Amino acid sequence: MKEMFKNIKLGQIIGIYHFEDSCFTVGKVLKISSKYLFLLSYDINFKEEGIKVFLIDSIKRIILKSDYMKNLEKTQKKIVRFNSENKGIFQELIENKIKVSIGLADGSVEEVYLTEKGENYFSFQILDDDENTISEEVIEKDYLKRIKISNFIEREEYKNFKVITTKNDDEYMAYDLFYNEDYLIFSEKEEFYDISKINIIPKDMIENISEIDVKLDTKKENFYELIDFEKDLEIKQILRECLENKFLVFIDNEDFFETKVGIITDLEDNKIKMKEIDKYGNFYKNSEIYFDEIQLLAVKNYRLGV
């Protein structure tokens, strides 16, 4: 894989596939060392979200073409801000041709454009990965279990959520809830991302809605400005800055059951100690991770005041 980086330049925007499950990142190349690739990463709206450090040997594919970046910028222009005053949400999706994800009763998920909403049915254009229409389908209202829309979050932080559980055991961390016809519409929390997912689910699928208060104290701050990428740099220096400044980190390895999220509490010669955060935004356990286990280190632009 190191041979694939010989023609990549600093400042170049690339896409990276890593691990075996098609995890994907887009970012600007900041530095390439003997073992690691350092990227300034972007979210789906092409906004800076922090830095990512990849173990080069864990990278499976590299996207070099700029067309993908152009598509991201087009996606940003298509985003519509939904709120409780927006009573014609389905018409908004149709008129603005917003790509959405739908979940069906058989468990399948499709990327689609909504073209018509009848009293008891929905009409969709089903899309492939390049957003080309591969079929046109009419789906009965009761067979459609969820519509999901990516959306940019303009506010920097949010703390109070409701937990929605459904009759088929799905769970959502939600805010800004409102009802529209026979549907509950809400924003779904994405952990420390400046994006949310607007969800539309039938009211009769809801099992319970309960309150939760996230106690984590965070503020937005740019981690990139703390690092001099023109000097020699290894992953331990990034980890030290995270420790000293209490930045939120995401650490992953293809053998981990799930990504470890939290803050670093101690840095030793060959390992770190960290306090992990659960999906509700609260500390729940302590972990030790050896440097050679870190295949991906993501440092989000969130600093914790704890």
For the chain, domain boundaries: 2-68+217-304, 82-153+160-213
CATH annotation of 82-153+160-213: 2.30.30.100
Residue 6 region by backbone torsions, left for phi larger than 0, else alpha for psi between -120 and 50, else beta: alpha
Q: Which of 2, 256, 301, 258 is nearest to 156 (CA)?
A: 301
In order along the chain (306 residues), what is the average pLDDT of each group of 10 residues? 76 79 79 90 78 88 69 52 63 86 92 93 90 92 90 57 88 85 83 72 92 76 86 88 93 88 92 88 88 92 78
The residues, any chain, with a CB within 8 Å of residue 279's CB and separated by 6 or more, are 173, 191
Q: What is d(CA 107, CA 144) in angstroms, rounded to the nearest whole number? A: 10
What pLDDT shows up at residue 73?
52
Contact 48, 38 (CB under 8 A): no
